[in-house]
Structure 1
Amino acid sequence: MKNAGRIALVLLVLIVSAVLLYPSIKWYCFVSEDVKNLATGSKEQIRSYSRAKASEDGDALLALGGAAAIPKEYSYLIDEAKDRGYKSSSWDVSSLMGAFKNKSDLYSVIENHYRKEIMDAKALQNRILSLGLDLKGGVSVLLEADVAAFEEKLGHAPSAEEISSAVSQDIEILSSRIDQYGVSEPDIRKQGDNQILIEIPGEADTERVNSFLQGKGSLYFCLVDASLTNKVNSLYQNDPNSFFDENGELVTPSIVPNGKLMLGYYKSDDYSLDVLESLVVLDPTVTLDGSYIESSQQSKDNVTNRPVVNFTLSSEGGRLFYELTSKHKGEPLAVVLDGKVRSVATINDAISSNVQISGFTEKEAQALAITLKSASFPIDLEIVSMTSVGATLGDDAVKTGLMAIVIGFMLVIIFMIAYYSLSGLVADIALLLNLFIMVSLLSALSFTVTLTSIAGLILTLGMAVDANVIIYERIKEELKKGKSAYAALESGFKRAFWTIMDSNVTTIIAALVLSTLGSSSVKGFAITLAIGIASSLFTSLYFSHLVFSLFIKEDTKRFMISFKGGKR
Structure 2
Amino acid sequence: RTALWKIQLLDWEDPLPGECLFLIKGAKERFKTEKKPVPKAWTVEDILSSYPGRAEVLAELEDHYREEILSLKSLKDRTIQLGLDLRGGMRVLIRADVEDLEQSSGKALTSGEKEDAVRRALEILNNRIDQFGVTEPQIRLQGDNMILVELPGDVDRERMRKFIQGKGILNFHIVNDEALEKFKEFQLRNPGEIMSLDGQIIQPDILPKGTRLYGFYEKDSYGLDQLKGFTVVGEEIGLSGNYIRDARVSSDSITNKPVVNFFLTGEGGDIFYKLTSENVDRTMAVVLGDKVKAQARIAEPIRDSVRVTGFSRDEASDLALVLRTGALPVPLEIINQLAIGASLGEDAIRQGLKAITYGFILVVIFMFLYYKGAGLIADLALILNLYFLISVLSVFGFTLTLPSIAGVILTVGMAVDANVIIFERIKEEYRIGKSAKAAVKAGFAKAFWAVLDANITTFIAALALSQLGKGPIQGFAITLAVGIV
Q: TM-score, normalised by structure 2?
A: 0.78
Structure 1 residue 464, shift from structure 2 partner: 2.0
Structure 1 residue 336, shift from structure 2 partner: 2.1
| Equivalent residues in 2 for 1:129-528, closer than 5 Å | 129-135=80-86, 137-142=87-92, 154=104, 172-188=123-139, 199-202=150-153, 208-214=156-162, 216-225=166-175, 227-228=177-178, 231=181, 235=185, 241-242=191-192, 244-246=194-196, 248-250=200-202, 252-254=204-206, 256-301=207-252, 305-318=256-269, 320-321=271-272, 324-325=275-276, 332-345=283-296, 346=298, 348=300, 350-352=302-304, 355-376=306-327, 378-379=330-331, 386-387=338-339, 389=341, 391-417=342-368, 419-472=370-423, 475=426, 485-487=436-438, 489-490=440-441, 492-494=443-445, 496-528=447-479
The one-letter code matched in structure 1 to 2:21 is S
| Aligned counterpart, 2:8 | 62
Structure 1 residue 412, shift from structure 2 partner: 3.6
The one-letter code matched in structure 2 to 1:71 is P
The 1-side partners of 2:456 and 2:181 are apart by: 69
The 2-side partners of 1:69 and 1:396 are apart by: 46
Residues 153-212 of structure 1: per-residue CA shift (max 9 Å, x gap)? 9488999x8999877766655544443343324445677888766554445x6xx23332
Seen in structure 2, the aligned counterparts of structure 1 residues 230 and 492 have a Cα distance that, compared at 3 Å, is: farther
Residues 501-546 of structure 1: per-residue CA shift (max 9 Å, x gap)? 4443343333233223322212211121111011xxxxxxxxxxxx
Structure 1 residue 451, shift from structure 2 partner: 1.9
Residues 473-496 of structure 1: per-residue CA shift (max 9 Å, x gap)? 555666678765445544554555
Equivalent residue of 2:294, what SS?
strand
Seen in structure 2, the aligned counterparts of structure 1 residues 489 and 317 have a Cα distance that, compared at 3 Å, is: farther
Residues 55-76 of structure 1: per-residue CA shift (max 9 Å, x gap)? x443443344656554333333
Structure 1 residue 341, shift from structure 2 partner: 2.0
The 2-side partners of 1:78 and 1:262 are apart by: 48
Of stretches 324-333 and 440-449 in structure 1, the one that deviates more from structure 2 is 324-333
The 2-side partners of 1:252 and 1:439 are apart by: 57
The 2-side partners of 1:500 and 1:355 are apart by: 58
Q: Is the 8 A contact 1:150 1:380 kept in 2?
A: no
The one-letter code matched in structure 2 to 1:213 is R
| Equivalent residues in 2 for 1:94-133, closer than 5 Å | 94-133=45-84
Q: Is the 8 A contact 2:216 2:227 kept in 1?
A: yes
Residues 208-252 of structure 1: per-residue CA shift (max 9 Å, x gap)? 233323353342332423744863685488578346142644474
Structure 1 residue 471, shift from structure 2 partner: 3.8
Residues 53-109 of structure 1: per-residue CA shift (max 9 Å, x gap)? x2x443443344656554333333444434555766465555543344443443444
Q: Is the 8 A contact 1:221 1:333 kept in 2?
A: no
Residues 401-460 of structure 1: per-residue CA shift (max 9 Å, x gap)? 434434443444344445544333322221111111111111222322222111101111
Equivalent residue of 2:158, what SS?
helix
Seen in structure 2, the aligned counterparts of structure 1 residues 433 and 72 have a Cα distance that, compared at 3 Å, is: closer
Seen in structure 2, the aligned counterparts of structure 1 residues 158 and 388 have a Cα distance that, compared at 3 Å, is: farther
Structure 1 residue 324, shift from structure 2 partner: 4.5
The 2-side partners of 1:251 and 1:283 are apart by: 13
The 1-side partners of 2:418 and 2:349 are apart by: 30
Q: Is the 8 A contact 1:142 1:195 kept in 2?
A: no
| Aligned counterpart, 1:34 | none
* Aligned partner (choices 69, 72, 92) of residue 18 of structure 2: 72
Structure 1 residue 306, shift from structure 2 partner: 3.5
The 2-side partners of 1:140 and 1:309 are apart by: 29
Equivalent residue of 1:262, what SS?
strand
The 1-side partners of 2:443 and 2:275 are apart by: 72
In structure 2, stretches of 5+ residues that fail to align are none
| Aligned counterpart, 1:541 | none
Equivalent residue of 2:239, what SS?
strand
Of stretches 228-237 and 302-311 in structure 1, the one that deviates more from structure 2 is 228-237
Seen in structure 2, the aligned counterparts of structure 1 residues 62 and 325 have a Cα distance that, compared at 3 Å, is: same
The 2-side partners of 1:362 and 1:330 are apart by: 30
What is the root-mean-square deviation in Å for CA atoms of aligned residues?
4.3
Equivalent residue of 2:376, what SS?
helix
Structure 1 residue 275, shift from structure 2 partner: 1.0
The 2-side partners of 1:519 and 1:396 are apart by: 28
The one-letter code matched in structure 1 to 2:167 is G
| Aligned counterpart, 1:5 | none
Equivalent residue of 1:430, what SS?
helix
The 1-side partners of 2:293 and 2:108 are apart by: 32
Structure 1 residue 268, shift from structure 2 partner: 1.0
In structure 1, stretches of 5+ residues that fail to align are 1-53, 535-568
The 2-side partners of 1:111 and 1:149 are apart by: 52
Residues 264-307 of structure 1: per-residue CA shift (max 9 Å, x gap)? 22111122211122333334435332234444432234566432
Seen in structure 2, the aligned counterparts of structure 1 residues 145 and 101 have a Cα distance that, compared at 3 Å, is: farther
Seen in structure 2, the aligned counterparts of structure 1 residues 491 and 148 have a Cα distance that, compared at 3 Å, is: closer
The 2-side partners of 1:226 and 1:95 are apart by: 55
Identity %: 40
Seen in structure 2, the aligned counterparts of structure 1 residues 416 and 64 have a Cα distance that, compared at 3 Å, is: closer
